[in-house]
C-alpha cells in the first residue's frame, strides 16, 4: 500500500464530495482518462491492481464532475467538457476493470445514482413541503389557541364583572332590608307611643270626670221654703235645652 501523504483514501474522498463510495468508484472508472492511475488502483509488477488512492488533482476533477452532473449534464457531456479542458489527459485506462464495476458507454444515460439523487431531491422537496404545511397548520393552531385564550380572558372578565355586580346588588338588598326593618321598628314604636298617650289621656279624662262629679255633688241646692222665682215659660218655638255630659262637652257636641 502506498504511503504517499498526498494521496487520499476513497472513503475520505467520498465523504468530502458527499457521495456514496459506489458512486465514487463509478465516476472513477467513467472519468478514468482524466484521473491518475492510482484513482482506479495502479497496476503492480505482478499484474494485480492495487488499492485506489486519489491525488489533489483527482479530487479537483471529481469535484468538477459533480458540479457538471448536478447542473444537468450527462456523462458524455461531462467527458466532452473535460476533454476540452484537459486534452492531454484523455488516455486509455490500463488494467482490468473491477469485478463490481460495469463500463458505461459514452452515449449512456446518466448513472442510476443521479436518478437516486434526483429522487432524494424530490423526496427532500416533498418533505420540505410537508414540513411547511405542518408549520402552517401549527401556526393556525397557535393562532386558534391565542384566540381561545383571548375569548377566555373576556369571559373571565365578564364573570368577574358579573360577580362584582351581584355583590353590589346583594349589598343594596341588605341595605334596603335594613331600612325596611328600621322603618317597621319606628312605626311600631310610634304606635306604642300613641297607645301610651291615649291611655294617659283617658286616665286624665277619667280623673277630670271624677273631679267634675265631686264638684257637682258639693254644690248647695236651693231651699224648698223659699220658692225660686218662676222662670218665664220658654217660647213655644224653641225646644228645651238638653243636659250635656262631660264627654260631649269635651268633644264639642
pTM (2 d.p.) = 0.36
Domain extent listing, the chain: 10-110, 112-216
Q: How far apart are CA 162 and CA 170, in angstroms?
A: 12
- What is the rounded CA–CA span in Å between residue 33 and residue 50? 18
| Helices and strands (DSSP H and E) totals, the chain | 6, 0
Local structure of 78: helix, strand or coil? helix
Question: Residue 250 gets which letter from DSSP?
Answer: H
State which fold the 10-110 domain adopts: Multidrug-efflux Transporter Regulator; Chain: A; Domain 2 (1.10.1660)
pLDDT by residue, tens only, the chain of 253 residues = 445 677 899 999 999 999 999 999 999 999 999 999 889 887 666 666 778 999 999 999 999 999 999 999 999 999 999 998 876 565 444 443 343 333 333 333 344 455 455 566 667 767 777 887 887 778 878 878 888 888 888 888 988 888 888 889 889 988 989 998 888 989 888 898 988 988 898 898 888 988 888 888 888 665 445 555 555 655 555 555 566 666 777 676 6
Question: And the C-alpha cell for 103?
Answer: 463500463
Residue 165, H or E segment? helix 112-218
Amino acid at each position: 500500500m502506498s504511503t504517499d501523504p498526498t494521496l487520499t483514501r476513497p472513503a475520505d474522498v467520498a465523504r468530502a464530495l458527499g457521495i456514496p463510495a459506489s458512486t465514487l468508484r463509478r465516476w472513477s472508472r467513467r472519468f478514468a482518462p482524466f484521473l491518475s492511475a492510482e484513482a482506479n488502483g495502479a497496476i503492480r509488477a505482478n499484474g494485480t491492481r492495487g488499492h485506489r488512492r486519489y491525488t489533489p488533482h483527482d479530487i479537483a476533477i471529481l469535484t468538477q464532475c459533480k458540479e457538471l452532473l448536478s447542473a444537468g449534464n450527462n456523462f458524455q457531456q461531462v467527458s466532452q467538457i473535460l476533454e476540452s479542458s484537459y486534452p492531454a489527459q484523455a488516455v486509455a485506462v490500463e488494467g482490468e476493470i473491477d469485478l463490481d464495476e460495469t463500463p458505461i458507454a459514452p452515449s449512456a444515460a446518466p448513472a442510476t445514482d443521479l436518478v437516486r439523487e434526483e429522487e432524494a431531491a424530490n423526496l427532500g422537496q416533498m418533505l420540505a413541503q410537508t414540513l411547511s404545511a405542518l408549520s402552517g397548520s401549527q401556526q393556525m393552531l397557535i393562532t386558534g389557541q391565542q384566540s381561545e385564550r383571548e375569548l377566555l380572558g373576556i369571559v373571565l372578565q365578564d364573570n368577574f364583572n358579573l360577580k362584582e355586580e351581584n355583590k353590589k346588588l346583594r349589598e343594596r338588598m341588605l341595605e334596603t332590608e335594613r331600612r325596611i326593618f328600621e322603618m317597621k321598628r319606628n312605626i311600631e314604636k310610634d304606635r306604642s307611643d300613641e297607645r301610651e298617650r291615649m291611655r294617659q289621656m283617658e286616665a286624665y279624662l277619667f280623673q277630670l270626670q271624677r273631679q267634675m262629679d265631686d264638684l257637682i255633688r258639693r254644690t248647695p241646692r236651693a231651699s224648698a221654703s223659699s220658692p225660686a222665682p218662676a222662670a218665664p215659660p220658654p217660647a213655644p218655638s224653641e225646644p228645651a235645652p238638653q243636659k250635656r255630659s262631660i264627654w260631649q262637652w269635651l268633644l264639642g257636641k
